[in-house]
């Protein structure tokens, strides 16, 4: 095997390591699952919203509901398209869907960030706004 051939294999391995976890799982998929878990813990933890019901449908999806409110917020990682989806459904209003993609901005986990597929915005801010609009109108200023 030539030195040039060995270098190509090493370069290929280095490029794949940034996109595939040591287990062989797609790194983007794991980042999506990690974000779903972090969001679910944030809203259901001790500092979370009072009276909020968190339904874990799967490791990649949870729903938020509140008694006496006819609305649901769903957060789901869609592996097929590599995007996190935030859906707000409120009785009598059209359903809203916002997608977020991971922008690796350099290839490392520390440098990457989640952003709206359609442009500016941040998942935590948008989830807070959806909670106020759909489930906690008392919090509107």
- Does the 26-139 domain belong in CATH 3.10.20.10? no
Residue 112 DSSP symbol: -
Q: Is 82 helix (H, G, I), strand (E, B) or coil?
A: coil
Q: Name beta bridge partners: 45.
A: none
Strands of the sheet containing 96-103, edge to edge, are 53-58, 61-65, 71-78, 83-90, 96-103, 113-116
pLDDT digits (tens, 9 = 90+) for 64-111: 999 999 999 999 999 999 999 999 999 889 999 999 999 876 544 455
Query: Distance between CA 28 and CA 21 in Å, rounded?
Result: 9
Q: Name beta bridge partners: 96.
A: 88
pLDDT at residue 7 in the model: 76
CA dihedral 51, 62, 84, 88 (to 10 degrees): -50
Percentage of the chain beyond pLDDT 90 is: 55
Give the residue, 60 or 15, on which the prediction is more confident: 60
Query: Distance between CA 87 and CA 81 in Å, rounded?
Result: 16
Give the residue, 127 or 17, on which the prediction is more confident: 127
Name the token pair of 84: 């996190």
Cβ-contact 112, 118 below 8 angstroms: no
């Amino acid at each position: 095997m030539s030195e040039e051939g060995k270098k190509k294999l090493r370069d290929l391995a280095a490029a794949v390591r940034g996109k595939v976890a040591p287990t062989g799982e797609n790194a983007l998929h794991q980042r999506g699952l990690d974000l779903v878990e972090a969001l679910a813990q944030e809203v259901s933890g001790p500092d979370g919203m009072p009276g909020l019901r968190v339904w874990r449908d799967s490791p990649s999806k949870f729903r938020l509901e509140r008694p006496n409110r006819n609305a649901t917020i769903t957060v789901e990682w869609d592996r097929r398209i590599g995007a996190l989806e935030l859906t707000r459904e409120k009785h009598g209003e059209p359903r809203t869907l916002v997608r977020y993609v991971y922008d690796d901005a350099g290839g490392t986990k520390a440098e990457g960030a989640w952003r709206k597929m359609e442009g500016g915005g941040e998942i935590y801010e948008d989830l807070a706004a959806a909670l106020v609009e759909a489930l906690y109108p008392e919090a509107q200023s």
